[in-house]
Amino acid sequence: MFDVEEIRAQFPILQRKINGNPLVYLDNGASAQKPQVVLDTIQRAYGQDYANVHRGLHTLSTISTDNFEAVRGKMARFLGAPSEDHIVFTTGTTEAINLISYAWAAPRMQPGDEIVLSIMEHHANIVPWHFLRERQGVKLIWVDTDADGNLDPQAVLDAITDRTKLIAITHVSNVLGTVVDVKSICTGARDRGVPVMVDGSQAAVHMAVDVSDIGCDFYAVTGHKLYGPSGSGAIFIHPDRMAEMRPFMGGGDMIRDVHRDSITWNDAPMKFEAGTPGIVQTIGMGAAVDWMMDVGMDAIAAHEAGLRDYALDRLTGLNWLNVQGNPRDRAAIFSFTLDGPAHAHDISTVLDKKGIAVRAGQHCAQPLMEHMGLTATCRASFGVYNTLAEVDALVNALELCHDLFA
Ligand code: PMP
């Protein structure tokens, strides 16, 4: 039985007062808070079990390596990957997408080749492809959403030409909350021989993800949004794509033999993990995905659907507030503006005085903001520990903003 109060009790930070008010944390899209089990795991990993991984034969190094490597299996289960060998650890989604850009995409792109993107992408899933545009003459092909913020999978497939080398698409928009039908995109793209990279940063925290069912070639997640530590992350890479990748970063661990005139690489996935990794961060991420799977992804999704529906109802009831987008399938993420002169930063500052944390600005999604004709929005993004009462607190504080700035 999902009990939100029981969940909340596991997050020490939720006891904090901010500016004299109980913290209402609605900035989960930027980063999520950490449950006690993750904090304890980090404490233990440093306090009892710490040593470098893959290097030593001594007891602590073996324990540390075992704890670190166990996360590959946890992440494979979390993402529905057939094998832990398909999981590469990263510091987050930004590094994961850059890895794919350098290790897989760059060597196979010729001038005039095309990468299809949606207009909803986060800069992390734009800028690495711009690098290829600048350096290798690759063309970026943008697919717009409709007026409600839906992305039609067919429109993405229609953008494929005989020069398309990759589709890079978000699973959930960090601005509008739109859930993209990535499975249909992957199915259609596979028929046409085009690999798909899915940015799962905002999705994996809200819903069960099964990369085998989706049929994607790459699926990137980030630990800090999954109730785990910052500086942790992972990417599922289809074995066919992994076989095509050449290493990106060179250094220790990714190598088998180094001589004066030659090198040989380690096997994948370690071939793509040069140097000392985020040992404790990764171990903490393992505790976080275990925790999420224990709570149950379906229970999390059901709880957040309740929050989403209630928040949508309350926010759209404010006729001076403009919720951006009205996608058919939405995660509990809302961007909004207020009528009148108040800038998103002003609203966020007033909300903060009431203890409510939201994000304000362009949300690292400038092409989408331009597409929507906006310079900035506030964003309330919900997580597993949020409550209906917190939706009410947000609405009350917004009413105060309206009174102040109208
Ligand atoms: N993609 C999306 C959709 C995101 O929301 C974010 C984080 N805001 C990122 C990528 C970047 O992830 P990371 O913080 O792990 O680099």
Distance from residue 142's CA to the centre of ligand 1 (Å):
19
| Pairing outcome for strands 164-170 and 321-323 | unpaired
Distances from the Cα of 134 to the Cαs of 100, 143, 366, in angstroms? 17, 20, 19
> For the sheet containing 377-381, what is the strand order?
321-323, 333-338, 377-381, 359-361
223: Cβ below 6 Å to ligand 1? Answer: no
Tokens linked to 88? 């590469």
Nearest Cα to Cα of residue 221 among 288, 279, 164, 272: 288
In testing the pocket of ligand 1, which one of 151, 172, 201, 226 has its CB within 8 Å of the most ligand atoms? 201
Encoded amino acid at 76, one letter: A
The total number of residues shown for the chain amounts to 406
Q: Where are the beta strands (DSSP E) in 332-393?
A: 333-338, 356-357, 359-361, 377-381
| Pairing outcome for strands 255-258 and 114-118 | unpaired
Nearest CA to ligand 1 atom 8: 30
178: Cβ below 6 Å to ligand 1? Answer: no
pLDDT given for residue 26 in this prediction: 98
Whole-number Å distance between alpha carbons of 336 and 339? 10
Distance from residue 393's CA to the centre of ligand 1 (Å):
27
* Entry pTM: 0.97
Nearest CA to ligand 1 atom 10: 124
Fold topology of 39-294 = Aspartate Aminotransferase; domain 2 (3.40.640)
Tokens linked to 270? 């370690």
| Pairing outcome for strands 87-90 and 114-118 | unpaired
pLDDT given for residue 31 in this prediction: 98
Locate the domains of the chain by residue range: 4-30+296-405, 39-294
199: Cβ below 6 Å to ligand 1? Answer: yes
pLDDT given for residue 342 in this prediction: 86
Q: CATH for 4-30+296-405?
A: 3.90.1150.10
Residue 378 designated active-site: no
Distance from residue 122's CA to the centre of ligand 1 (Å):
7
The total of other beta-carbon atoms located within 10 Å of residue 45's CB is 23
177: Cβ below 6 Å to ligand 1? Answer: no
In testing the pocket of ligand 1, which one of 202, 221, 230, 282 has its CB within 8 Å of the most ligand atoms? 202
Per-residue pLDDT of the chain (406 residues; tens, 9 = 90+): 899 999 999 999 999 999 999 999 999 999 999 999 999 999 999 999 999 999 878 999 999 999 999 999 999 999 999 999 999 999 999 999 999 999 999 999 999 999 999 999 999 999 999 999 999 999 999 999 999 999 999 999 999 999 999 999 999 999 999 999 999 999 999 999 999 999 999 999 999 999 999 999 999 999 999 999 999 999 999 999 999 999 999 999 899 999 999 999 999 999 999 999 999 999 999 999 999 999 999 999 999 999 999 999 999 999 999 999 999 999 999 999 999 888 999 999 999 999 999 999 999 999 999 999 999 999 999 999 999 999 999 999 999 999 998 7
User: 279-295 and 297-316 helices cross at what angle (nearest 10)?
Assistant: 80
Nearest CA to ligand 1 atom 4: 201
278: Cβ below 6 Å to ligand 1? Answer: no
pLDDT given for residue 257 in this prediction: 95
The total of other beta-carbon atoms located within 10 Å of residue 11's CB is 22
The total of other beta-carbon atoms located within 10 Å of residue 66's CB is 11
Catalytic-role residue among 186, 364, 378, 401? 364
Give every CB contact of residue 248 below 8 A, 6+ residues apart in sequence: 98, 99, 102, 103, 272, 274
Atom of ligand 1 nearest to the CA of 92: 15
Distances from the Cα of 227 to the Cαs of 29, 39, 205, 275, in angstroms? 11, 10, 8, 25
String of DSSP letters for 252-300 = TTSEEEE-SS-EEEPPTTGGG--SS--HHHHHHHHHHHHHHHHH-HHHH
Nearest Cα to Cα of residue 282 among 131, 88, 30, 137: 88
Whole-number Å distance between alpha carbons of 199 and 129? 13
- Count the alpha carbons within 13 Å of 146 in the hemisphere toward its beta carbon: 11
On whether the CB atoms of residues 248 and 88 are closer than 8 A, the answer is no
Whole-number Å distance between alpha carbons of 78 and 86? 13
Phi and psi at residue 305, to the nearest 5°: -65, -40
94: Cβ below 6 Å to ligand 1? Answer: yes
On whether the CB atoms of residues 168 and 138 are closer than 8 A, the answer is no
pLDDT given for residue 55 in this prediction: 80
Tokens linked to 202? 């905002």
92: Cβ below 6 Å to ligand 1? Answer: yes
Atom of ligand 1 nearest to the CA of 363: 8
Encoded amino acid at 344, one letter: A
Atom of ligand 1 nearest to the CA of 233: 15
C-alpha torsion angle, residues 65, 68, 70, 74 (rounded to 10): -170
Nearest Cα to Cα of residue 155 among 143, 164, 140, 167: 143
In testing the pocket of ligand 1, which one of 91, 97, 101, 122 has its CB within 8 Å of the most ligand atoms? 122
On whether the CB atoms of residues 360 and 312 are closer than 8 A, the answer is no
Whole-number Å distance between alpha carbons of 86 and 388? 39
Residue with tokens 């403009």: 322
